[in-house]
Amino acid sequence: MDIQQRIEAALKTKEPKRIKARLFALGFFNKCGKCDGKGVIDGFGHIANGVCFSCGGSKGRVARMTRELVLELEAKVATGALEAYLAHNKAVAEAKRAIAPLKLTIDKEWQYGAVHTAFSKKRDIDQTSALFLAATRINKLRDVANEKAQSGKSTAAEAVEVLTQTLAAIRAENDGFTS
Ligand SMILES: [Zn+2]
């Protein structure tokens, strides 16, 4: 087998995009010197989310695969690193599917519920009023939901649990609110 075929066999795919993603995931790429292969620069989160200006967040370039590197790749895959990466991707996709409908319900409850309906009708709001305080609490709850839905670090079950609790808390605020 030539080098390309061995790479494809080790990574179990012939699709160029997937080969690139899998090589990157397993660390077979030349790191961008500016961000050290992270794609973001620490401490610059306030500018374009910290995305590295040098590599545009791509982390670097695919390494030119030599026979030695292919041997290293095959050894790495033999340790189960590829399976771990694929399992992680699957878990993230599952979490996304579980989160999406719940997040939509939360957004609607937040936007069209009693608290924000009343809030949007007011011009000047006393910051000590029950309405203002309820809106503050409800916004904080939605921040929690947004963070949980976006982090991509939690399992589907964890995210669903937090989002379900958050939805119930937002509903309780709306149900308990009388203007
Ligand atoms: Zn970079």
CA 19 to ligand 1 centroid distance, Å: 20
Domain of residue 114, residue span: 89-176
Q: Residue 42: what pLDDT?
A: 84
Residues 103 and 81 in one domain: no
Q: Residue 152: what pLDDT?
A: 66
Residue 26 phi, psi (nearest 5): -90, 0
* Structural domain ending residue among the three candidates 62, 87, 112: 87
Residues 83 and 94 in one domain: no
* Structural domain ending residue among the three candidates 69, 87, 105: 87
* Residue 11 structure tokens: 């990574």
CA 151 to ligand 1 centroid distance, Å: 21
Q: What is the pLDDT along the chain (179 residues), one digit of tens a residue?
A: 799 999 999 999 999 999 999 999 999 999 999 999 999 988 877 777 789 999 999 999 988 999 999 999 999 999 999 999 999 999 888 888 889 999 999 999 999 999 999 999 988 888 999 999 999 999 999 999 998 888 666 778 888 999 999 999 999 999 998 86
CA 51 to ligand 1 centroid distance, Å: 8
Residues 76 and 41 in one domain: yes
Residues 76 and 99 in one domain: no
Q: Residue 150: what pLDDT?
A: 81
CA 113 to ligand 1 centroid distance, Å: 43
**Count of domains observed in the chain:** 2
Residues 83 and 8 in one domain: yes
Helix, coil or strand: residue 84: helix
Name the residues around ion ligand 1, CB cutoff 5 A: 32, 34-35, 52, 54-55
C-beta neighbour count of 141 within 10 angstroms: 21
Residues 114 and 126 in one domain: yes
In whole angstroms, give the CA distance from residue 59 to residue 30.
8
CA 10 to ligand 1 centroid distance, Å: 27
Residues 62 and 134 in one domain: no
Residues 101 and 64 in one domain: no
